[in-house]
């Protein structure tokens, strides 16, 4: 048994010696003496311990080196588990670390003890708002999480991500639709397509005045994008005009989108005929012109033929057709 243990110990020490001497040699060659000298020293100690393990010539030396390796192993394990904490600070209380001015390490100790609120407060004092928000998430304190995300949005370069997260929390976790709407307005200052979402949220809140302001801004944005970027935005212009009761403007916008959709269907196909059908039906709803309904029916038949060609899964095909029918029933009050 002793022989087997000796063999195992020698093999482990050989591995340590080879690794540390190789690293130490490279570090010394690169003139990195802070790494090279300690690594080489550990390698030499490992070689000495191999000799002592085989010969047991100096028992005291054998046990001193053995204990040193055990302590180094423990220290290395603690370091790997929490490299930011350090070996010595592992054995200090959070309160002592705070007195020493090591709030970051005290927060780690609190976190390991699952004292999330104490850790969060320290992280916030340090300005580490992301770490603080993670701790509040563990507590389920979503109000604090949202507050910190708003602070991060002001400080970080990509603040839109944190605003989106804050909006989700206010809407889904806290049910605070007013705050969610305010966040969406802030998002719209960064990414202008959020004006539509802000308007819809204010409608949910019941604030018609702020909803109207957002819809007016969204209309300006979409009209500009339709004229300068892509005709696909005429659909959004038409939808917003209709919401605002500007029926004549909505009709003109739908006609422009119809021209765009017909052109895209001729050039690319790819299901654009569905948008052609929906737009004809939308114009029929607003004008009551039967010619639009007739053309809508023709386009819808073409869409069904298109699905027969490209969609293999019958269930998926049925789902797509039902989607159009639902849209017609809800928006056009028409069943086909």
Contacts 24+ apart (CB under 8 A), 51-56: 53/6, 53/9, 53/10, 53/13, 54/6, 54/10
Domains of the chain: 2-81 (no CATH), 230-336 (1.25.40)
CA 55, distance to chain mean position in Å, is 60
User: Which pLDDT value is given to residue 80?
Assistant: 55
- For residue range 155-212, what is the model confidence (pLDDT) as tens digits? 877 788 999 999 999 999 999 999 999 999 999 998 888 999 999 999 999 999 999 9
With contact defined as beta carbons under 8 Å apart, do 159 and 152 qualify? yes
Rounded Cα–Cα distance for residues 231 and 290 (Å): 26
Q: Which range among 15-19, 43-47, 103-107, 159-163 has the greatest average pLDDT?
A: 159-163
Q: What percent of the chain lies above the pLDDT cut of 70?
A: 91
Rounded Cα–Cα distance for residues 241 and 246 (Å): 5
pLDDT band of residue 116 (cuts 50, 70, 90) is: very high
User: Which pLDDT value is given to residue 81?
Assistant: 57
Which residues neighbour 202 within 8 Å (Cβ) at sequence distance 6 or greater?
181, 208, 210, 211, 214
User: Which pLDDT value is given to residue 335?
Assistant: 57
User: Which pLDDT value is given to residue 311?
Assistant: 75
The angle subtended at Cα 149 by Cα 199 and Cα 117, nearest 5°, is: 135
| pLDDT above 80: residue 39 | no
Handedness of CA 194, 200, 206, 209 (dihedral sign): positive
Rounded Cα–Cα distance for residues 92 and 170 (Å): 39
pLDDT band of residue 145 (cuts 50, 70, 90) is: very high
The angle subtended at Cα 227 by Cα 223 and Cα 233, nearest 5°, is: 55
The angle subtended at Cα 270 by Cα 281 and Cα 320, nearest 5°, is: 55
Quick one: average pLDDT of 266-276? 85
pLDDT band of residue 144 (cuts 50, 70, 90) is: very high
pLDDT band of residue 58 (cuts 50, 70, 90) is: confident
């Amino acid at each position: 048994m002793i022989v087997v243990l000796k063999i195992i110990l020698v093999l482990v020490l050989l591995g340590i010696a080879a690794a540390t001497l190789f690293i130490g040699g490279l570090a010394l060659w690169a003139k990195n003496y802070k790494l090279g000298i300690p690594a080489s020293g550990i390698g030499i100690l490992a070689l000495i311990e191999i000799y002592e393990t085989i010969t047991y010539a100096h028992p005291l030396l054998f046990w001193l080196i053995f204990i040193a390796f055990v302590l180094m192993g423990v220290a290395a394990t603690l370091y790997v588990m929490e490299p930011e904490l350090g070996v010595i600070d592992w054995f200090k209380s959070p309160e002592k670390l705070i007195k020493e001015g090591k709030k970051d390490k005290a927060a780690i100790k609190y976190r390991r003890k699952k004292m999330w609120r104490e850790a969060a407060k320290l992280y916030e004092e340090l300005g580490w708002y992301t770490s603080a928000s993670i701790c509040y998430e563990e507590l389920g304190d979503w109000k604090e999480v949202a507050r910190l995300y708003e602070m991060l949005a002001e400080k970080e370069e990509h603040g839109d991500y944190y605003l989106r997260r804050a909006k989700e929390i206010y809407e889904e976790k806290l049910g605070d639709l007013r705050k969610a709407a305010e966040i969406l307005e802030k998002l719209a200052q960064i990414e202008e397509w959020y004006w539509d979402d802000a308007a819809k949220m204010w409608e949910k809140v019941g604030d018609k005045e702020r909803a109207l302001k957002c819809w007016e801004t969204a209309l300006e944005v979409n009209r500009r994008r339709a004229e300068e970027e892509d005709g696909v935005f005429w659909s959004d212009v038409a939808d917003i005009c209709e919401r605002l009761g500007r029926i004549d403007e909505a009709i003109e916008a739908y006609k422009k989108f119809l021209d765009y959709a017909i052109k895209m269907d001729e050039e690319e196909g790819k299901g654009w005929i569905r948008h052609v059908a929906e737009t004809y039906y939308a114009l029929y709803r607003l004008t009551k012109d039967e010619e639009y309904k007739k053309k809508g029916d023709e386009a819808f038949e073409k869409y069904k033929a298109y699905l027969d060609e490209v969609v293999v899964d019958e269930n998926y095909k049925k789902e797509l057709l039902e989607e159009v029918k639902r849209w017609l029933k809800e928006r056009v009050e028409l069943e086909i």
